Amino acid sequence: MIKNHSDNVENPEKFLEDNSKEDNSEEDNVNRGDNSEVNLESNLEEEKENSNNSEDVSNTVARLEQLEKEHQTLKNQYVRIAADFDNFRKRQSRDQDDLKVQLICKSLSAILPIVDNFERARQQLKPESEEAQALHRSYQGLYKQLVEVLKQQGVAPMKVLGQQFDPNLHEAVLREPSDKEREDIIIEELQRGYHLEGKVLRHALVKVSMGPGPSEISQEETEKDKVEEDLTSNQNLTDEK
């Protein structure tokens, strides 16, 4: 002990150097312990951050999926609303067109009796004097103007004579036997019917054939029976011979 102390006294530099090495080794040990604690804390923080990041990513994905579902739902609702609105618009347009046609039909139907009166006057009146003929030509000019206006509105008269009776177009007022036409054929027009752009504006009042009359049918049957009797009698005479 005394020797070591004496050695240290004799070599003070060596003693300081040895002490410094011991101090450095102790400091290194302390520093390594501190570094290991820091590394552990940093690892824990990194793991915590990673777990937080993974949770954030999963939450973001779930939110994105939810938003996509909501977007698809809203898109489907928009498509349905757009289709319903388009159907509503078409229905409104169709109703407006039908209402317009009904108003036109009502207005034109009120004018048709005037046309009928002009036609009756033309058929019945036979002006003889010069003044009567001038008056006749005057109202005939008005009649032509009225007919021209109706044509411009799309009104066209029906052709019924000789046609098959159709309850959608015609109204049968009379039915009578006819020698010339078969049954359900129109033989006379009592009041003219009109079309408006393919639709019936006014039904035509007509007289319809019932075919040959009962008397003619009876006469034909009588003649037929007479012929059959003659043939039968002739056959009997032949058998007796």
Q: Summarize pLDDT for 34-52 with one digit per residue, the tens.
A: 555 556 566 666 666 666 6
In a domain, 163, yes or no: no
The answer for residues whose C-beta is within 8 angstroms of residue 177's C-beta and 6 or more apart is 209, 210, 211, 212, 213, 214, 216
Q: Would 102 be classed as within a structural domain?
A: yes
- pTM (2 decimals)? 0.53
As a whole number of angstroms, the distance between CA 71 and CA 60 comes to 16
Whether the CB-CB separation of 231 and 200 falls below 8 Å is answered with no
pLDDT, tens only, 156-172: 999 999 899 999 999 99
End-to-end CA distance of the chain: 190
Asked if residue 183 belongs to a domain, the reply is no
8 A C-beta contact, residue 204 and residue 158 = yes
Specify the DSSP element, H or E, that contains 49.
Answer: helix 12-124
- Domain containing 113 equals 62-153
User: Within the chain, which residues score under 70 in pLDDT?
Assistant: 1-53, 213-241
In a domain, 148, yes or no: yes
Q: Is residue 126 part of a domain?
A: yes
CA distances from 214 to 34, 143, 208, 218 (A): 135, 44, 16, 6
Q: Residue 80: its pLDDT value, please? A: 93
Q: Has residue 139 been placed in a domain?
A: yes
Packing angle of the helix pair 12-124, 2-10 (nearest 10 deg): 80
pLDDT at 214: 59
Query: Residues 203, 141, 156, CA angle at the centre, nearest 5°?
Result: 25
Amino acid 2: pLDDT: 40
Pairing status of strand 199-202 against strand 155-157 = unpaired
| pLDDT tens readout for residues 13-31 | 554 455 555 555 555 544 5
Total count of domains within the chain: 1
Domain annotation covers residue 104: yes
In a domain, 167, yes or no: no
